[in-house]
Chain A
Amino acid sequence: GAGVSQSPSNKVTEKGKDVELRCDPISGHTALYWYRQSLGQGLEFLIYFQGNSAPDKSGLPSDRFSAERTGGSVSTLTIQRTQQEDSAVYLCASIPGTGVGNGYTFGSGTRLTVV
């Protein structure tokens, strides 16, 4: 696609429920990132994909968080047993290759609210 597409744009869920967030990167972009932005905060790195593999998942906050990428394209971030502290905007970004030189292209994000 022309840009990075994320869905849903907004998600309200009850504490304890599981949620899935989807990211469709720019066609042909091999690298994909998930970041989290809490209110008034910077961007917190979660996980990096190169193709379908995740060589760096060091930012995932707990084992309730997992992510996968299939076909070198769409990625899904899953949060199990959601907690109120998971409330944030989850941003996906992609780049063409292995270096950050051309800058990230971000999607519009998914605003997750856990009530």
Chain B
Amino acid sequence: GQQVMQIPQYQHVQEGEDFTTYCNSSTTLSNIQWYKQRPGGHPVFLIQLVKSGEVKKQKRLTFQFGEAKKNSSLHITATQTTDVGTYFCAGSGGSNYKLTFGKGTLLTVNP
């Protein structure tokens, strides 16, 4: 079945440093979504990417979808303590009714 791998598993940064997490799928995706889960909380939807090579920005967050629609990345510029949490990518295949989640990247930020 479809597998979504995410690296790194953990990332610790100093406040103000940049952060990137990468997501790779074993199969071509119809779309990819990103979620953020704060410590003790539940995943919250951030964004969806659909088109090959698509780039979207949300303030300090930049999301990319690869040309082959099998990989994606989330980049945070100048991290802040409020960015702490686990970032999950989740992909949907041809059926488009179900998401397969990566295991997430836990980001901690040292103030």
Contacts and interface: CB of A to CB of B under 8 A. Distances in A.
Interface in A75-115: 91, 98-109
A42 interface: yes
B42 A45 contact: no
Contact of A42 (B92, B97, B102): B102
B97 A48 contact: yes
A46 to B, nearest CB: 11
Interface stretch (B13-21, B43-51, B55-63, B68-76): B43-51
Interface string A22-50: 00000000010101000001111100101
Given A43-B43, A91-B42, A104 B97 contact: no
Contacts of A42: 6, 88, 101-104
Interface residues of A, number: 24
B99 A104 contact: yes
Contact of A100 (B6, B44, B96, B103): B96
A68 interface: no
Given A42-B102, A42-B103, A42-B104, A31 B88 contact: no
A68 B88 CA distance: 28
Nearest to B6: A42
A100 B31 contact: yes
A56 interface: yes
Nearest to B43: A106
Interface in B20-48: 31, 33, 35, 41-45, 48
B9 to A, nearest CB: 9
A91 B90 CA distance: 15
B33 A100 contact: yes
Interface of B: 6, 31, 33, 35, 41-45, 48, 50, 88, 90, 92, 96-104
19 contacts: A31-B97, A43-B43, A43-B90, A45-B99, A48-B97, A48-B98, A50-B97, A98-B96, A99-B97, A100-B33, A100-B96, A101-B31, A102-B45, A103-B33, A103-B45, A104-B35, A104-B99, A106-B42, A106-B44
